[in-house]
Chains A and B, each alone.
Chain A
Amino acid sequence: MNESAVLESQKVIVFQLGEEEYGVGVEQVRSIERVQPITRVPNAAEFVKGVINLRGVVTPVLDLRLRFGIEEREHTNQTRIIIVSVEDMEVGLIVDAANDVMDIQTDAIEPPPEVVGGIEADYLRGVAKLEKRLLILLNLHKVLSKAELQELKSIEANS
């Protein structure tokens, strides 16, 4: 709620992981790519799937399911890699599907509540209620932060 409180509304890219919908600020998203061959990087964290060739730039990709402790799943036609840029890092996030851009009213955002199933994960910035949908907003800094990895907790289906 902090920095977003200033804005009246903000645009987010909506993507899917399992049954849930997540959102990241559009300003942090560089592009959305189809899945392409990934080169495994040995001895990296489990959720680091490897690196891809993104228009000549070697870019690491993370499996967001594994990052959030959800069971890994075969890639489908819908699977996408969202390229995000945080601070000086460009990283790809593998998600089940990415298909929407949405304007979210700031007052629709609530802090990550127990409502979502007792999540204490730092990487959640808040939850936005949109009529019948529930959108989980991510704090990408935390998603990518390495210090926080050990505190992974699973997110259970809800709504």
Chain B
Amino acid sequence: MDKNQYLDMFIDESREHIQTINDHLLKLEDNPTDETFIGEIFRSAHTLKGMAATMGFEDITNLTHQMENLLDGIRNKTMEANTDLIDIVFEAVDHLEKMVDDIVQGGDGKKDVTAILNKLEQIESGRVAEEVAVSAEASLSSPTDTKERAQSQVFDNFELAVLAQSHEQGYNAFNIKVELRADCILKAARVVMIFEVIEHVGEVIKSEPPVEKLEEEQFESEFQLTVLSKESVDELRDRIFKVSEVERVDCEAIELEQLVKEDQQDRKEDNNRPVKQKSETSDDKADKAPQTASNQGTNKTIRVNIDRLDALMNLFEELVIDKGRLEQISEELKETALTETVEHMSRISGDLQNIILTMRMVPVEQVFNRFPRMVRGLAKELDKQIQLEIRGAETELDRTVIDEIGDPLVHLLRNSIDHGIESPQERRSSGKDEQGTIVLTAFHSGNHVFIEVSDDGAGIDRNKVLGKAINNGVITEEAGRSLTDSQVYDLLFSSGLSTREEISDISGRGVGLDVVKNKIESLGGSVTITSRKGRGATFSVQLPLTLSIMSVMLVEVQDETFAIPLSSIIETAIIRKSDVLRAHNQEVIDFRGHVVPLIDLKQFYNVPETRKSESEHHSIVVVRKGDKMAALIVDSFIGQQEIVLKALGNYLTHVFAISGATILGNGQVALILDCNTIIK
């Protein structure tokens, strides 16, 4: 099998399953007796095992297999889902995650899992001593499971239908259990012979373990077959006995009516069972369909490569441009039928645009769902009691933003856990609950998404921050005195500032909040802090809905059109040329009491001069970078517009003071000004 073809799918799905296991383990910890959670975990672990086995990742297979044994114990109530056990399962999941990551990095997903395997086994052996001996071998065929249902086969709907149909045609169904002699050398060969014998008088419709496994000798010494035949039970048994090295043949007729009834009952009684059994016997591909259906329920989705969406978007823009041309033509021709058609087309393309843009949106849940696990782990490590509340996980963000926002959020959460929430003792002495709460909220507001991390911890100590900043030479003592609270909090984002006395394991990893701020700003967002002493702190992150679409002001410089991101613009103005001042060989203007340098874009970008302006006035756009400002001279303002951001291509990387390009309605390319480079 060409595994590479399936590798992406394997990685995606493994991650999903690991996430599911993590999620449900957390829930299980709160409700140790709830069977739906353990069922979900078991199912995910099982599918993961199957996929890993198919792909040949043995360590993952072994580990998931051992996990499964443990989970099975919980399910069968021979074990209790206490914190210790869940800790170990978490640890196992961590290993799985690392192995999958290794595969992502191009590795072979191998990892020494003996230690964790032993731990899992020890726990298991504590409760069910006898099973350990079998599971220690940890073979693919999962012998414990086979024993569990040695009595009769379980059939899915399709197989039941086949049975019913053949029954009508006068065939009888048999369950045949064949045991080979322990000293049988060529087990697979015997299997083939037995199959051949049966084919003479009937048909094998099902085998346990599946035929492929039998052929690979992946079974102990016995296997089960479901056979349709017109012969009698004895006849069949005798024929099979003729094959040498067969120890025992149990042959019994299947009572069809009863089987159907049992099956229905079974389903009613225990919803998990048929699914599990089925996934044991059928191969993985068949397994996936019911899985996805049950996991996602009403929310049917399909995975699409983002490059394809980009391609779709590009094509669509072409269509919009052609539409623009058609509109022009129809206006000139004044043909009613044409005008109507073009108008209709405009409406449809508007809707289409919306759909394409929203297709790139994904719920922040994708990022948020890894946090509960992380918070749990960190709280344990720090001996704190912390509850994480997540709100607004369904809020949607552009895929490109989602990919980038995870790390900054991890950082903010770590910060809250480490610096924000106090230890239980401290909390008690200040009259609070021992358990601290961190609330992670996402919501839309206008063209932005806000993500807030707030805790009910000690809050930020103004004096401490200030003291540290002064010590580290970030600001002078004098300047510090006049700062407002929020200005002081902003100091947290300056590099090399940690409010904690000793650097802890959690946040002392060489990166500070300054990295968080940079990252968020590079995404076109911003972050602010509010805090009340003793009550906690809130970090509020504001992000654009999407990175691929931005609001710009289009301006003209001679014959060229440039786009200036609205987020950098303070305002536009028209000034008299006589108001321009000079300071140290640099033209400046007095803009609302600030001295702002004046930059002529025509000179800055060497725009060829095509027309001379006689005007006594300059049109200017005042832009900012942080607290610094600059006034850009343009020839005229075209107006505000939403544009689709495009890269300049691999050939033109790092063009000076240009951050990208966009395609205008007339099909031409306009360049986007990079105000961050214009203002040094």
Where the two chains meet, the residues of A that have a C-beta atom closer than 8 Å to any C-beta of B are 36-37, 39-44, 48, 50-53, 55-60, 88-91, 144
What is the bound-complex CA distance between A41 and B317, given in angstroms? 22
Q: Which B625-680 residues have a C-beta within 8 angstroms of A?
A: 646-652, 655-658, 661, 663, 667-671
Shortest Cβ distance from residue A8 to the other chain B in the assembled complex, whole angstroms: 31
User: Is B658 a contact of A60 with CB atoms below 8 Å?
Assistant: no
B357 part of interface (Cβ distance < 8 Å): no
User: Is B560 a contact of A56 with CB atoms below 8 Å?
Assistant: no
What is the bound-complex CA distance between A50 and B315, given in angstroms? 22
User: Is A57 a contact of B314 with CB atoms below 8 Å?
Assistant: yes
Report chain A residues within 8 Å CB of B658. Answer: 41-42
Report chain A residues within 8 Å CB of B651. Answer: 60, 89-91, 144
Residue in B321, B647, B652 whose beta carbon sits within 8 Å of that of A41 in the complex = B652
Shortest Cβ distance from residue A123 to the other chain B in the assembled complex, whole angstroms: 15
What is the bound-complex CA distance between A143 and B553, given in angstroms? 37
User: Is B648 a contact of A55 with CB atoms below 8 Å?
Assistant: no
User: Is B661 a contact of A51 with CB atoms below 8 Å?
Assistant: yes
Report chain A residues within 8 Å CB of B648. Answer: 41, 51, 58, 60
User: Is B314 a contact of A89 with CB atoms below 8 Å?
Assistant: no
What is the bound-complex CA distance between A155 and B668, given in angstroms? 33
Report chain B residues within 8 Å CB of A52. Answer: 669
B235 part of interface (Cβ distance < 8 Å): no
Contact of A39 with B671 at beta-carbon distance under 8 Å, contacts A53-B663, A60-B649, A88-B650 already known: yes
User: Is B650 a contact of A58 with CB atoms below 8 Å?
Assistant: no
What is the bound-complex CA distance between A39 and B557, given in angstroms? 13
Residue in B315, B560, B650, B656 whose beta carbon sits within 8 Å of that of A40 in the complex = B560
The 8 closest A-B pairs by CB, nearest first: A56-B314, A42-B605, A39-B669, A89-B650, A58-B646, A43-B656, A58-B661, A56-B317
Size bin of chain B's contact surface: 20 to 34
Report chain A residues within 8 Å CB of B650. Answer: 88-90
Report chain B residues within 8 Å CB of A44. Answer: 652, 655
B313 part of interface (Cβ distance < 8 Å): yes
Residue in A closest to B315 when the chains form the complex, CB atoms? A56
Mark interface residues in B509-536 (1 if CB within 8 Å of A CB, else 0): 0000000000000000000000000000
User: Is A39 a contact of B668 with CB atoms below 8 Å?
Assistant: yes
Report chain A residues within 8 Å CB of B649. Answer: 51, 57-60, 89-91
Contact of A56 with B661 at beta-carbon distance under 8 Å, contacts A37-B668, A43-B605, A91-B651 already known: no
B607 part of interface (Cβ distance < 8 Å): yes
What is the bound-complex CA distance between A43 and B667, given in angstroms? 23
Residue in A53, A57, A59, A91 whose beta carbon sits within 8 Å of that of B668 in the complex = A53
B318 part of interface (Cβ distance < 8 Å): yes
B606 part of interface (Cβ distance < 8 Å): yes
What is the bound-complex CA distance between A42 and B661, given in angstroms? 12
Most chain B CB atoms below 10 A, which of A37, A39, A52, A55: A39
User: Is B313 a contact of A56 with CB atoms below 8 Å?
Assistant: yes
Contact of A58 with B663 at beta-carbon distance under 8 Å, contacts A52-B669, A89-B650 already known: yes
What is the bound-complex CA distance between A56 and B313, given in angstroms? 8
Report chain B residues within 8 Å CB of A36. Answer: 667
Shortest Cβ distance from residue A54 to the other chain B in the assembled complex, whole angstroms: 9
Report chain B residues within 8 Å CB of A53. Answer: 321, 663, 667-669
What is the bound-complex CA distance between A144 and B652, given in angstroms? 11
Other 8 A-B pairs with CB < 8 A, given A37-B667, A39-B560, A90-B649: A39-B670, A40-B608, A41-B671, A48-B652, A53-B668, A56-B318, A60-B648, A90-B650
Residue in A closest to B316 when the chains form the complex, CB atoms? A56
What is the bound-complex CA distance between A53 and B643, given in angstroms? 14
Residue in A closest to B312 when the chains form the complex, CB atoms? A56
What is the bound-complex CA distance between A37 and B663, given in angstroms? 12
Residue in A closest to B666 when the chains form the complex, CB atoms? A37
What is the bound-complex CA distance between A88 and B670, given in angstroms? 23
What is the bound-complex CA distance between A87 and B486, given in angstroms? 50
Report chain A residues within 8 Å CB of B321. Answer: 53
What is the bound-complex CA distance between A52 and B661, given in angstroms? 10
Contact of A51 with B652 at beta-carbon distance under 8 Å, contacts A39-B661, A42-B658 already known: yes
What is the bound-complex CA distance between A48 and B313, given in angstroms? 27
What is the bound-complex CA distance between A19 and B2, given in angstroms? 52
What is the bound-complex CA distance between A41 and B606, given in angstroms? 10
Shortest Cβ distance from residue A92 to the other chain B in the assembled complex, whole angstroms: 10
What is the bound-complex CA distance between A114 and B652, given in angstroms? 33
Residue in A closest to B560 when the chains form the complex, CB atoms? A40
Q: Which B598-621 residues have a C-beta within 8 angstroms of A?
A: 604-608
Residue in B318, B560, B647 whose beta carbon sits within 8 Å of that of A55 in the complex = B318
Residue in B closest to A43 when the chains form the complex, CB atoms? B656
